[in-house]
Copies of this chain bind each other. A is one copy, B any other.
Amino acid sequence: MEKSILIIQCKDQKGIVASVSDFLFKYNGNILEVDQHVDEEIGVFFMRAAWEQESFGLEKEDIRPVFENEVANKFQMKFDLYFNFPKPRMAIFVSKLSHCLFDILSRYYAGQFDVEIPLVISNHLDLKRVVTAFRIPFYHLPVDKFNKAAVENEQIALLKEYKVDFVVLARYMQILSGSFIQEFPNQVINIHHSFLPAFVGAKPYHAAYERGVKIIGATAHYVTEELDAGPIIEQEVARVRHHNSPSDLVQIGQDVEKVVLSKAIKYHLERKVLAYGNKTVIFY
């Protein structure tokens, strides 16, 4: 089904829900999902509405100007419109670790993700064969301390060439520069292998082992310039015990990582994530 999705963010005021509902009703919208949220602390209103496009009374290209004129301007709304057709385009960055990549490919194959994957980019060749079996182009761009900026430029060029909408770092073991991130604000999803804000930085499973925690976790977040500090999309945890070695923790954690990352992708794809400041509203 062709679906249109409207995402609104504005100062909280009375009458917003009524105005948006009236707009959708006026143009004969068959509403599929509506969710609202008010952040009381900062007085900001958030809304997400999805409706069937086929039976809607406005053509896709007319929705924006009409909504602006009839609703958005009055409330000084920031809003976005998304359509699930054509499908959004997602690039995956990987290094050598396969668990997150294979989980994404598995869901892609099974039709769980309403997405195109036009390419996978890796600094290693290891995962090429399996990616290729899923009929996805694989680009091998090795990174070292000298060529990092140049490689990022190549990556950005590829992302533009393939008209990529967002990027998933599926345990890509390189830190992206601020200038890369600015090209894709809140459009780069990373999976960090700890329950943030605990164990920021490298080797979080070893740090968790040293601290003797009984539960480990993983965190999917939008990448911002400050390392491991971007808006959190999803987190999940798993129980560990005293007999689990650091390498057990790595393995137990990988199961959590792949689940968390795939959930975050799903929320992002369905435009259920509204990021603001360092936080997210997730309308699941």
| CB of A14 within 8 Å of the partner chain | yes
Among B17, B110, B245, point to the contact of A31 (Cβ < 8 A): B17
Pick from B25, B109, B199, B242: contact of A14, CB under 8 Å: B25
Residue A174, interface by CB 8 Å: no
Does A165 count as interface, using CB distance less than 8 angstroms?
A: no
- Cβ proximity bits A121-142 to B, threshold 8 Å, 1 near / 0 not: 0000000011011100000000
Q: How far is the CA of A37 from the CA of B241 in the complex (A)?
A: 11
Q: A212's contact among B25, B133, B195, B231, by CB below 8 Å, is which?
A: B231
Interface residue tally for chain A (C-beta within 8 Å): 64
| A105-153 residues at the B interface, CB under 8 angstroms | 105-107, 109-110, 112, 129-130, 132-134
Contacts of A214 in B (CB 8 A): 232-235, 282
Contact B237 A215 (CB under 8 A): yes
Which residues of chain B have C-beta atoms less than 8 A from A18's C-beta?
A: 18, 21-22, 24-25
CB of A182 within 8 Å of the partner chain = no
A76: interface (CB < 8 Å): no
Copies in the assembly, this chain: 4
Residues B109 and A98 in contact, CB atoms below 8 Å apart: yes
Q: Which residue of B lies closest to A215 (CB)?
A: B235
The answer to whether B242 and A282 touch across the interface, beta carbons within 8 angstroms, is yes
CB distance from A173 to the nearest CB of B (A): 15
Interface-forming stretch among A3-11, A82-90, A154-162, A273-281? A273-281
Interface membership of A68, Cβ < 8 A: no
Point out the residue from B14, B21, B102, B105 that lies within 8 Å of A17, measured CB to CB.
B21
